[in-house]
Structure 1
Amino acid sequence: MAVGTADRIAAAARTIVLDEGADRVSMRRVAAAVGITPMAIYRHFSDRDALLRAVAEQGWVELTDRWGRGEPRDNPRAELRRTLNGLLDFALEQPKLYTLLHDHRGGRSGGDFRSDESPVLNAVAAAVDEGMHRGLFAPDEVAEVALSIAALMHGLISMQHAGRLGLSDAEFRVLCGTAMTRLLHGVGA
């Protein structure tokens, strides 16, 4: 199957994002990489933001595809662990794309946290909700618990990406696991 021009444009923009970050994506650079004029991009994407949204949407697909692999989905704790490990793997393997997914306005990451637009929050909330129904987690507001979990992970990932933690990836994974265990078990005496 032939790759269309829009796909080639998005792929070139994605390469720039992966290598240098979203702020380095320009219509001129993308056009040069594809071998077209900058104006030709506008036949496929209305502006730079639309192009970055397309790159982000593909990133969300890649991230959520990671959650489709692995053990059966009959254990809410394992499902939550798989979701968070997939998020962590993605963030460590493709830090600049992860940043685009979480910082770019529009796409699936936009909207209020209760709007069902975030694949991460949706996956975490589904596992939390099932865990509450099965008595594995204490009854609580599902959306707020999911937000707490996602915010903890995103905060830690952002600090690691900024070099503020000074940890190797292996050490960082241990920190994330320990922090999540503390959150789920509480820190009370």
Structure 2
Amino acid sequence: MIVKRAYHHGDLRRALVLAAREVLVERGPEGVSLRGAVAKVGASTAAPYRHFRDKDALLVAVALEGHAELQDALRGCGTGTVTALGHSYLGFALENPALYRLMAGAGIGDRAAHPELAEAHRETCAVLADRMGDRIDPGGFATTLWCLLHGLATLVIDGHVARGSAIAEAERSLAFLAGGVVPPAG
């Protein structure tokens, strides 16, 4: 008599997130699907629905992982080092462009259906504020810094600004935000 054993992947949720992240890098958020992630990990077609209700839920899980990684990178910069925070933020965004765009919501249908994504954005901004140290208004400064860095990262990712130019402009802008002397452009 043949006994059929139930398939057990181990940590299927994690495997699906990793598979989706690979596809995200290769083909963007539109290329990610539950069926494709399942095929990459070798599970049954019904298996992902125990962990994710739909493609958006899978993409949100990938975006949340990205936020956690960005927060860790920012925490590693030390307190009050605006230039280091800027380099860390831009470095993360430019090394992970597809993930970064996904974290900002690109490719996720109804963002309002995923309050955990909005919370991750708030936590990332809170890490920036925390790293501002004893500034008068670290929260407001962090929001301004986030706007600057997000804008520069997006301009580079979209090909409007060369990467080297973005780093130079970030240096100038960060010096201005930090209240230091702004070096001349050029």
| TM-score normalised over the length of structure 2 | 0.77
Structure 2 distance, partners of 1:18, 1:87, is 19
What SS is found at the alignment partner of 2:104?
A: helix
Larger Rg: 2
Q: Please state how far the C-alpha of 1:154 moved relative to its aligned partner.
A: 0.5
CA RMSD of aligned residues (A): 2.5
SS in 1 for 2:46: helix
Larger deviation: 28-37 or 150-159? 28-37
CA change 1:119–1:49 in 2 (3 A) is same
Q: C-alpha separation between the residues in 1 aligned to 2:10 and 2:168? A: 41
- Residue 150 of structure 1 deviates from its aligned partner by 0.5
- CA apart distance, 1:117: 5.0
Quote the residue 2:3 is aligned against: none
Which whole-Å deviations, capped at 9, do the CAs of 1:5-64 have from their partners, x for residues lacking one? 111111100111122222221122112212233322101212212211211121122222
Q: Which segments of 5 or more consecutive residues in structure 1 lack a partner in the other structure?
A: 133-138
Q: How many pairs does the alignment contain?
A: 167
Q: Is residue 83–residue 174 contact of structure 2 (8 Å, CA) maintained in 1? A: no
Letter in 1 for 2:86: L
Q: Which of 89, 101, 125 is the matching residue for 2:129?
A: 125
Specify whether residues 47 and 81 from structure 1 end up closer, same or farther in structure 2 by C-alpha distance, changes over 3 A only: same
1:184 is the counterpart of 2:178: yes
Distance 1:3 1:180, change over 3 A: farther
Amino-acid identity (%): 28
- Provide the rounded CA distance (Å) in 2 between the counterparts of 1:26 and 1:34: 13
